[in-house]
Structures are given as C-alpha cells and as structure tokens.
Amino acid sequence: MVRGAMRSAALRLAGNTLRSRTSSSSAPPSSLPLSSGTTEERREEVPACPTLNGRNGPKHRPSSLTTWAVAAKSGWQRRCPSVLSVSPSPRTVSPLAMAVRRPWRGSAVPSSPAARYSQRPCALPVRWAAAAASRAAFLLLLLVAAAGRAGVSAAGVPAAGVPEVHSLRGSWRLGNGNGSVVLRGEVPGCVHTALHRAGLIQDPYYRFNDVMYRWISLDNWTYSRTFRTPFDFRKWQKVNLVFEGVDTVAQILINNVTLGRTDNMFNRYGFDITSVIKEVNFIEVHFLSAISYAAEQNRCHKGYNIPPACPPPVQKGECHANFIRKEQCSFSWDWGPSFPTQGIWKDVRIEAYNHYHLIYFSLTSFFVKSTQKWRLEIEAIFDVVSSKPVVGLVTVNIPKLQTQQTFNVTLQPGEGSIVLLVNINKSFAVEAWWPNGHGKQTGYNMTTTFIMEAGYQIEKFSKIWQDFMFACALYPTDQNYLESVGAEVTHQVRRLKSHPSIILWSGNNENEAAIASNWFSIPYADRGVYIKDYVMLYVKNIREIVLAEDKSRPFVASSPTNGLESVKEGWVSQNPYDTHYGDTHFYDYSIDCWNWAAYPKTRFASEYGFQSWPSFSTIKKVSSTEDWSYTSNFSLHRQHHENGNDQMLQQIGYHFKLPQSTDPIKKFKDMIYLTQYLFMCLLTKVMQAQCVKTETEFYRFSQSEIIKGEGHTMGALYWQLNDIWQAPSWASLEYGGKWKLLHYFAQNFFAPLLPVAYEDKGVLYIYGVSDLHVDHKLTLRVIVYTWSSLEPVCILSKGGVTVKAQSAVPIYKESINDFLERCQNCTRKSCVVTFCLMGEDGLQSPTNHHFLSSLKDAVGLKKTQLSASVSQQDDIYIFDLHTTAITPFVSLDVGSIKGRFSENGFLMTEKKKVVMFYPWEPTSIEELEESLTLTSLVDTV
C-alpha cells in the first residue's frame, strides 16, 4: 500500500531500520543576489528522518515520493540524518567566481566482517545487499543550503549568472467557473483550504463533507493576481516564470498571453516571459477539473481499457485517477477521502538572469574497488542564454582531506550539464558518517568554484527507498503521457538524488503484483498488452531515465518484486510475493494475528499492518453525538476498507472480550480503545498492537535463520505512519500527530536490544535480538506473575547469555509444562511471563512479555483501583500512577492537549509507575488533570 500520506514508518532491518514517506519535498533553494564584496552568513536546517516509523491481493493506495533510510550488512551505508544546521564562516566574495560549497560526508570501507555488520540500523534484503556489496560504501552528502553571491559591473548591469528572484507567494484572487464564487486564496494553497479559511465551507473533514463538497472538485477554478516587477527587466537577457508545483491541469497566462499548459502535479514548469513582462503584470492560472480531465483522457484512450476504472464503492471516490499525473490518493484510497484539489501547491516566482543560470546541482559519491579510492561525481545543470559558449575553470576543494582538483569547462548555449569526477586523496582515511546512535557523524566541507568568463559566485553548503507516484493500477503509455512522466522523473531525480537517505528508486507500488495476480480480471488472451505497457512505462522509460540521471543507486521496477528473478521472467513474475526473493507485502485479516506461524518467512517484509480507529478525542472533532456508535452511518462512511470494521471485531474477538456496556457512547469509546493498541515490547490492549507486535517480532527473530530456503528476514516495515484524516486506518499517528499505542510500542519492538518469546509445539523459546555493533554477555531475567497478584510467583535468572551483534539467537528453551511446574500454582490461564536482558554499564533491553493464553480466558484478572497524580518539572509533566492489581494495557489520554507520553499501553506489574508527558503546546497541571482519562483492559469488560 503506498500512500500520499507518509508511507509507513518503521523500517526494521535486522534491528533498527526505518522507512519514511514524504509526499513532497521543498523546491531547490533559489540563489540570493548580493553585491560584490558583501559578507553573508546563512544557517539552515534540514528536516530529520524520523527515528521510528514505519495483502495478498489488491490494496488500494497511491504511491508517493518516498524516502527510505536503509543500509546493508555488506557495507553499503546511507544515513538517516538528524536535523542538521551549518553555519559557514563569513567571507568576502569576488564577483569573478561562482562557488559551490558543500559539507561532504563519507564512510570508511569496513576492514572486517564485524565492522561491516555494524554499518546499520537499516539493512537490505539479500538481493539488495549483494548489489550494495558491489559498491562498498558511500560518501554521504547532505545538501543543506544554497546562496548566490554576485557583483554588479561598472556599467550597472547585473553580473552574469546571478539571478534576480521575486516570489509571487501570498494572496491571489480565486474564482469559480461562472464567477458566482470569488474570494482570496493563499499561494501556495488549494481551493478547498481557501474556501474553508474564508468561511464559505465547513471543515471538509466534518462528518460527510467529503461527499457534500464534491462540487468543488467538479468546478473549474482560476487563480489570478496583479504584480509589479521589482527590478528593471530590460537589463536581463532572460526572465522566467517558474512554478514549482501546479495541481494539476491548468492554462498559464500573463498579460493576456498564453504561456503554456500544465498536466503534471509532480513536475516543475518554467515559462520564458522575457518578451511579455511589463512593469505591471496580470497573471492567470485557469484550472480544469481533475475529475473531468481524467474522464476525458480515459474516453480518448482507444483500443483497450486501462483498469481500474473506478475505486471500490466503499471508498466513495472518483474515477480514472490513473489517467492524470496527480497524487493518486486525492481521488480516494482505503485510508483517505476523495478531495481532487486544484491549486498552486508550491512556490511560484520570477527569475531573471544573464548569460547562464544554475538549475540543478548534485553530488554523488562512489568507492572504486580497483583503486581503493573514493570518487565524487559533481553535476551542474545550467541554462545558458549566451549566444556563444562560456568557458572557465572549476576548482573543487576539500581541505580536511587535502583534496583539490581544477578542471577546464565549457558551457554550451542552451540547457546542458557539467560533470566533474573528483578523486579523494588516498592518503587520508575517510571517516564514516553513522546514523544516530551508531557512531560519530563526520562532515567535510567542500567548495566547488566556477571561475567563468562573465563571472559570479554561488555557494552551496552540504555538509529512503523512493517510490515514484504509481500504485495499485495500470497506466496508459501514449506518447503525451510518457513525455509528461519523463519530465517528471527527470525533475524528481535531479531534485532528490543528493539526499543520502534515498537508498534505491522504485518504479511503482504493487503494479507487478496487480498484473501477476490479475487484480482487474483481465482475460488471459489480453494479458500481453498490459505487460507490454508495464515494460514500456517502468523499464524502457522510467528506469532508463533514472539510471542515466543517477548512477549511484539501483532501480527496482516495483514493490513487491522478485528482483532479478522478475527480470528473468520479463519483468512480471508469476508470483511477486515469492518469499525466496526480494520483498513481500502481507495482509491477511482472517488469520489469528497472535499466531506467528501465519506470517511469511520472507527476505524483506516491506509492508504489513492492521487497522485501528483513532482516539475518541480525535473522532469527536468531526462528528456529532448520533455518530458515536460502531455501526452508525458515520462509522460506516469513514471506513474505506471493505469489511474493515468487521475484521477488527473479528481480531478482537480471538483474544479479548468485546465491550459489554449498555451505554452506547461508552461502548463506542471502549471499542475504539480496543482497536487502538499495537505491538511491541509490552503488549497493548488490543488487536492492532498485539497483531503488529507479534508479526514484527517474528520478522526480527527470523533474521538469522534460513529454513527450507526461507527466512533471513533483513527488513520489516509496517504500514502506515500517519493519518491524513480522522478515520480508521493502519496508521500509528493520528490526524494531528497524536500517538496511537502502536507508535508507543514501536519504541520498544524496534529497540536495538530486545528479547522475543514464542511457542512452538509446546516449547517456549526466547530469542535475543541485537542491532548492536558488538557481542554482549547478558543476563536473561524472567519474572512470572499470576493475574491476581502483584507479587511474582517465580523469578528465573540465566547469566552468561551471549547475544551476538547484528543477529537473533536463541537464548532460552523449555517446555511449557516444565516451565509451569517450575513456577508453582501457575497455569496457562492464570499467569503471565515478563522478561528482559541486562548487561554491564546500564545496558538493558525493554521488558517484554508473553501471554500464555488469550486474555479473554485469563483467570484472576480483576477490576483495579487505578489512579494518577500530576506534577511538573520544568517543561515536563510527571504522572505518578498507582494500581492495586496487575493491570494490562494501561492507556493514558489527555484528550485534545497536544503532546506525547514517554510510554503508553503498558502492562503494569508494580504498584507504582512514573510516566512523563512532553507537551507540544502550553498547558498546566490543572488542565492535564481535568483532561486525563486512565483506561485499561479490565475497564472495557
């Protein structure tokens, strides 16, 4: 399932991996014109990769441009950065130089297997690890900022290459097709947000408004504004109007002159307005309804259908999303509403320049095995408006590595690129840039200076698995469509390839599986037509562009896929879900999710999950009292996954008692609570938690085993990270950012050191799972409680347990019967097992636990007196909890107060426990006490 929201967020590769998905990134920074001899200091930050976060058959979700942070045991390493800031030293700039400066990050070639294995928290499946091995390691480069510096000639003419930039952000006039609705609309923005801000519509997410406001997307809207040119345009050889993002189909006019049209949300559009710009200008953007455009494109496609025509009825969506290059989920998805928006969704600006202008700048690193040297490939793409070639010198300097090289270059008229290959001084060791918690982060400042004939200086300071936007559908391959896709892919690769967190490019999400499994009931005789289209789009077009633009990363045509095996079978394998190859998506809601044996022993579990509802405080904002029933029209309308509510009830019923309250509102709150909890270390109260916890832990302890050719699971990535509206979904973050219990659990089930328990044929096994860089001798501590007492029945301790680095090893084995005999008065139904690993210097795993029976069958569980007092220490609030009995799945909720707890959904086995609350906005002890709701499993039955 790829999503327009952030695609899952917990990438777990043998320990600590992570995958995060972003639907868009900011545009490349514009150059800032400065006078000769000026001094400037810039400080910019790059958003961090998240540290946590993350069906066989069709799932419905759109792909989005996605960032994965992954690394391989082979030594192929990339970094998931924390927030970075760089403060370059002030310097006086010569008007005769153009410099590109970036901090440069690298990783040393591992000298031993132990060193190689320590290069994670993110690992790749075997086939990708092999590809990684061929590349050794990477210099990790992070583009942080760009600043242009220029002089002015003696004649007062702006220096060559330094652009004059003027943003057209702000308030625009917005009107519908017949002029009956006129208002102000902010740019960047869209029609829906403008109407809402103006008070002309309610919250689009309120109740059934996603359907009620369908008229907005069916209308044709126009953005327009007047602006005064803030510079003397006659002194510039070229003036461009640049749109970083237009959503989606529009005609662009300035001063009543049509500049061109747009039809791709993911492309950047530039229009030459040199001959039409005036001192005062009028700009118009006439949008065509995306729904109408997609329907017309489908009608014009002759010969054969391109499925699916429409989304499933349960999604209440629009048809033919695959005929428009627009965020696919905006036509609806199984986790989101249908809002096919119109608007200018990114920056729009005027750029003016002379002679030449830098459009893209990127830097890629390679380790050359034959010479045992690091090499950098620097690419700069220019628009040269000079009528003759522009020549000059380029000097690349990395002082810390005593590396400096100078090149003669020539910029030809038109758009072209300069590619420079820089060899790093072999006598200096390149220090590794490690992900957070795995070592030092070493940066290298690099300055690339272009000394050109006309002369000016720009400085750049540099100190994911990336899916293209195709998912769960087949797509047309007519010439116009392919040309639009080609421009999109070229732009996105150039924009993103300098980001170290991108580990590979993926052509689509689940489209190979859609053909192989025949999701759309295509007659066998027609199958070849669709395979031909598939190869044309993803292999002969997207793949060729990606590999030409970025030689540093591999490309896979789809996910899931069998990799080279799929290639051998003509790019569409018979079974893309084959666990012996590549990656696997797994969704089966009919199984008992506590049964680990139901899950695939795959190389890489790149998508899996279970649904839950968001908290009551989140639902309450967009609903009314009559909606607060699990079977209400609102609950059914909000559920976009077929039979999703029933599937959640079925999973809950396997192991938990359903709420028995006769109060319908309390019953609904209880139901939401039950469906909210998700896995890891301490089970949560329910289904989502327990299911994902069980599945994730299975993948983690399978990383070091191969049984009948299956296993060696080096990746686990749950779907999904965040919600885009208030509804049931697979997300671990609710709309607005509130943590579900799953997100709290992820802190533990992706811990670098974790004990995991499971049963097989009457035997209890405990595995030690480690992502740490060295072996550790630890003590396994097992504590057994009866449900009726806070006093342990027995405590088992096993010292001298060796947990190997970067592996999962069995550390305890005993038959359940012998285990229960060891702890007198214990039965499966009356006892619960907790366990943890402890070592020297404070090393300790989270405390995990194992249920010996379903909790609906537990004997001795009783109502408890659960209470909390709140105090404050600086900006943190402290919740002191007290209980009179063992309390499973304790949940703290403070309603609409924004923030997070240090932990939640835990098994409370002691009388007292301290939990911290970290607010995201000002609050008080009184407000928290008034808003606090304490819930546990025993409160819902």
What residues have CB less than 8 Å from 567, skipping those under 6 apart? none
Question: Of 125, 396, 299, 339, which is closest to residue 212 (Cα–Cα)?
Answer: 339
Helical H runs in 508-599? 511-516, 527-534, 544-549, 564-568
| DSSP string for 877-919 | EEEEEE-SS-EEEEEEE-TT--EEES--SEEE-SSEEEEEEEE
- Indicate the helix (H) or strand (E) that contains 711: strand 710-711
DSSP H or E run through 770: strand 763-770
State the catalytic residue, choosing from 512, 549, 607, 695. Answer: 607
Q: How far apart are CA 68 and CA 75, in angstroms?
A: 17
Counts for the chain of helices (H) and strands (E), in that order? 19, 48
Give the integer Cα–Cα distance in Å for 729 and 717. Answer: 16
Specify the DSSP class assigned to residue 321. G
Sequence-distant (6+) residues with CB within 8 A of 862 are 787, 788, 885, 938
Is 186 annotated in the active site?
no
Cα–Cα nearest to 665, from 691, 627, 699: 627
Give me 376's structure tokens.
Answer: 């950098």
The strand order across the sheet containing 466-467 reads 466-467, 505-506, 555-556
Please identify which residue in the block is written with the tokens 């990769």: 49
DSSP state of 206: S
Assign residue 355 a region (left: φ > 0; alpha: ψ between -120 and 50; beta: otherwise).
left
- C-alpha dist (Å) from residue 84 to 321, 354, 831, 843: 38, 34, 48, 28
Query: Residue 7's closest CA among 332, 589, 466, 435?
Result: 466
- Do residues 716 and 700 touch, judged by C-beta distance below 8 A? yes
Among the listed residues 379, 431, 459, 510, the single catalytic one is 510
- Could you report how far apart the first and last alpha carbons of the chain are, in Å? 34
Residue 915 token pair: 């939990």
Phi, psi of 31 (to 5 degrees): -75, 145
Report how far residue 10's alpha carbon sits from residue 4's, in angstroms, rounded to the nearest whole number.
17
Sign of CA dihedral 789, 790, 791, 792: positive
Burial 728-752 (b: 16+ CB within 10 A, else e): bbbbbbbbeebbbbbbbbbbbbbbb
Asked whether the beta carbons of 397 and 432 are under 8 A apart, the reply is no
Contact assessment for residue 301 and residue 323, using Cβ atoms and an 8 Å cutoff: yes
Burial call 17-33: b when 16+ CB within 10 Å, e when fewer:
bbbbbbbbeeebebbbb
Q: CB neighbours (10 Å) of residue 271?
A: 18
Name the phi and psi angles at 688, rounded to 5. -50, -45
> Do the beta carbons of residue 104 and residue 432 sit within 8 Å?
no
Say which DSSP state 441 is in.
B
Q: Is 510 a catalytic residue?
A: yes
Backbone angles phi, psi at 577, to 5 degrees: -90, 10
**Which residues lie across from 878 on neighbouring strands?**
871, 916
Structure tokens at 740: 């579900």
Name the residues annotated as catalytic: 510, 607
